[in-house]
Amino acid sequence: MSAVQRHAVVAGAGIGGLTAAVALHRHGWRVTVCERAAGPTAVGAGIVLAPNALRAFDTIGFDITRAAGRAVPAAMGLR
């Protein structure tokens, strides 16, 4: 008798949705990610991850240093 593979549908391809999808996939789930946007858009914004988010990435084995870009902003402001 073969095991039935579990399937998850993740709504949203943001950081939370993609992290959930990676974690489930690494635990043997078949995952479908649904995203409303046709593709990424350049908005000129950065992403800041809090320490707990970085710990969550570490917990699921995601190497954030490999995914981080090397872009240096020309200017930065805080309002």
Given this model, what pLDDT does residue 6 score? 96
Q: Residue 51 is encoded by which pair of tokens?
A: 């320490």
Q: Are the C-beta atoms of residues 52 and 19 closer than 8 Å to each other?
A: no
Which range of residues forms the domain containing residue 18? 7-36+45-67
| Position 26 in a domain | yes
| Position 21 in a domain | yes
pLDDT digits (tens, 9 = 90+) for 28-39: 999 999 999 988
- The answer on pLDDT for 69 being more than 80 is no
Residue 64's H or E segment, with its range, is: helix 64-67
- The answer on pLDDT for 1 being more than 60 is no
How many domains would you assign to the chain? 1
Given this model, what pLDDT does residue 24 score? 95
Given this model, what pLDDT does residue 29 score? 96
Q: Cβ-count burial of 60 within 10 angstroms (0-12 exposed, 13-18 middle, 19+ buried)?
A: middle
Span 40-58, mean pLDDT? 79
